[in-house]
Amino acid sequence: MTDSKITELLARAATGDPEAAAAFVRARALRLRAAERVSVSGRAAARRMLRADS
């Protein structure tokens, strides 16, 4: 989901649209999970590189 769509959902949620609020929460949770996966895989790659240097 693009930033503009998330911004639109947030704006609709702020006006009291419960469906938009639920969709915003779901989209935000998906983005957070994706960011965490990237972070975890980055840390794992760094550990592998450090072990390879040893």
pTM for this prediction: 0.65
Q: What is the pLDDT of residues 8-45, one digit of tens each?
A: 999 999 999 999 999 999 999 999 999 999 999 999 99
Task: Please give the full DSSP string across 5-48, using - where no structure is assigned.
Answer: HHHHHHHHHHTT-HHHHHHHHHHHHHHHHHHHHHHHHHHHHHHH
pLDDT of 6 reads: 87
